[in-house]
Structure 1
């Protein structure tokens, strides 16, 4: 019991601590910044965010299609919504496992296929985000040296992983455990390394992340700020690469800190940088939460016991419990 409590409580306290610290730094300037809001851009940000979510569902539909599962875009979007909603509540991206259980329950996918589909999604996300960050360097003078590491390392890991997939495809074994891993790698390769998959998943990933950046751009415009688009791109890139390390649930706190810090490096006032980062993430998280709730009802009431059972198993170190 104490293990389950600490697994959720400690990351949550870290997230709260970061937000409180950032608030303390800029509290006196917050009211001034809030006086310059143009509310119409909030609606634009919400519409863009919803479009990005639909496209995420469509991309996941294409990944599963590569694994020979024809699942409606509405269902794949709901799966992504539910898993990301759980990630807002629990640490270590445990919500990703929920998607695996949903697919197995409704479409009889194997666990390896569920894991493979998520790995493909994640690797395209990481490489795309890092590539956008690398492109932004051409338009931003005097980028601090440490930021280059945040871009180069994910790119190197992503391309090394694809090279590894090519090499490991020639291996065979009689060991059942190694064979299971090789089967999963073959599934990942089948879903990601064909020319068709690279084009479709690569192009859709670029559009998804450009929409994510445009949400922040709308928030920037809402506060009547003149921030170069390349700086916004870099801020969102750094925020999401930091968020990819599951320190807090949903990257809450770490994302805001990274985005605000990047804006401050570019000369944006701390209070404005903080507000942009917080509201940008708040819009995305509230839509995620609302979409997750709707998706649970759409998929069926069996999803909630499944979520509880899956999380209990993970937090108890693999031991299952009754829903």
Structure 2
């Protein structure tokens, strides 16, 4: 009996020792996991601060280039309420652009939350004010590559889709406005219909012949060809998704709100004329000739507005002020959105 009791006691001790050892291992793993999580969190905070600092630094450089006094005087020439409503509407237009980008990403199968999509859209606008060669689109492509962990072809596709959605929305808004605004402008209507026809043709080709184009190109072994194949495949998938066409509707709304922000700077001119002028100025920016469309936008917008009881020089001055103020706004809100370059914690697909 004593032997049996001793044997049982030894087994209990051994079992307790094994359980304790296993618990210690689990505890050690949990500590390691928490330590890794803390390190990632700290690194994320550090990167956010660095990116925000870079953004603010670029903003300061932009204001210095323009001239602090010129920036100040541009805002002071309007009433408080004009500037207030202008800023609110312009920021709202970028929030809508971000929402549009979210639906384009959704159509391409990319899982990024709405806030992140809005941040990326604004960051793209901020980057675009510094360069001619669509720096904002390149920034968004790089950010999407980080988020999706996909190749550049797949990451580029939603950005091209977003550009297409934006252009479609703008042209459709122009056609809607030109249909109802008097007097009719046949020349701009024909131009808009021509651009719309070309875009619809491009959508048709990519949607229905994208896979065939990819299969023909797949016989060639090249990084450039692989990039094109992946981009065409993703874009073809996106254009067949209803989310893309929802983005076009949001695009029309975003351009309309942006046009309303432009109309805040004009007094005595009916809002439909100023919204139309702003939209026509943006149509010229579809193919960038100057950095951010400076000069071309003002010229077209002023030419249209000068028909309605304001001199061309006055209209041009207001359009230039508007363009300058939009850049300052993007320079202020853009750096905050630098955080969107950080990898998303959500699992992405696409």
Q: TM-score range by the shorter chain?
A: 0.7 to 0.9
Identify the residue that residue 174 of structure 2 maps to in structure 1.
133
Whole-angstrom distance in 2 between the partners of 1:165 and 1:72: 27
Whole-angstrom distance in 1 between the partners of 2:127 and 2:238: 25
- Which of 219, 222, 227 is the equivalent residue of 1:175? 219
SS of 1:90 mapped into structure 2: coil
SS of 1:265 mapped into structure 2: coil
- Which of 193, 213, 217 is the equivalent residue of 1:152? 193
Identify the residue that residue 51 of structure 1 maps to in structure 2.
92
Identify the residue that residue 311 of structure 1 maps to in structure 2.
none
SS of 1:164 mapped into structure 2: helix
Gaps of 5+ in 1: 1-15, 17-30, 301-323
By how many angstroms is 1:89 displaced? 1.0
* 1:90 equivalenced with 2:131 (yes/no): yes
By how many angstroms is 1:196 displaced? 4.1
What RMSD in Å do the two structures reach over aligned CA positions?
A: 2.6
Cα distance change of structure 1 residues 285 and 150 upon mapping to structure 2, 3 Å threshold: farther
Q: Is the 8 A contact 1:92 1:247 kept in 2?
A: no
Whole-angstrom distance in 2 between the partners of 1:59 and 1:194: 14
Return the index of the structure with the highest Cα Rg: 2
Cα distance change of structure 1 residues 105 and 195 upon mapping to structure 2, 3 Å threshold: closer
- Which of 232, 237, 241 is the equivalent residue of 1:185? 232
Q: Is the 8 A contact 1:96 1:118 kept in 2?
A: yes
Cα distance change of structure 1 residues 74 and 146 upon mapping to structure 2, 3 Å threshold: same
By how many angstroms is 1:105 displaced? 2.2
Which aligned pairs between 1:1-323 and structure 2 lie closer than 5 A?
37-169=78-210, 171=212, 172-173=215-216, 174-176=218-220, 180-198=227-245, 200-220=246-266, 224-225=267-268, 227-296=269-338, 299=341
By how many angstroms is 1:153 displaced? 2.5
Cα distance change of structure 1 residues 106 and 165 upon mapping to structure 2, 3 Å threshold: closer
Q: Deviations over 1:230-264 (max 9, x none)?
A: 32232112110112221111111211111111111
SS of 1:69 mapped into structure 2: coil
TM normalised by structure 1 equals: 0.73
By how many angstroms is 1:76 displaced? 2.0
Whole-angstrom distance in 1 between the partners of 2:279 and 2:127: 23
Cα distance change of structure 1 residues 50 and 228 upon mapping to structure 2, 3 Å threshold: same
Q: Is the 8 A contact 2:169 2:249 kept in 1?
A: no
SS of 2:310 mapped into structure 1: coil
Whole-angstrom distance in 2 between the partners of 1:64 and 1:145: 36
Identify the residue that residue 12 of structure 1 maps to in structure 2.
none
By how many angstroms is 1:211 displaced? 0.9
Gaps of 5+ in 2: 1-65, 67-72, 343-350
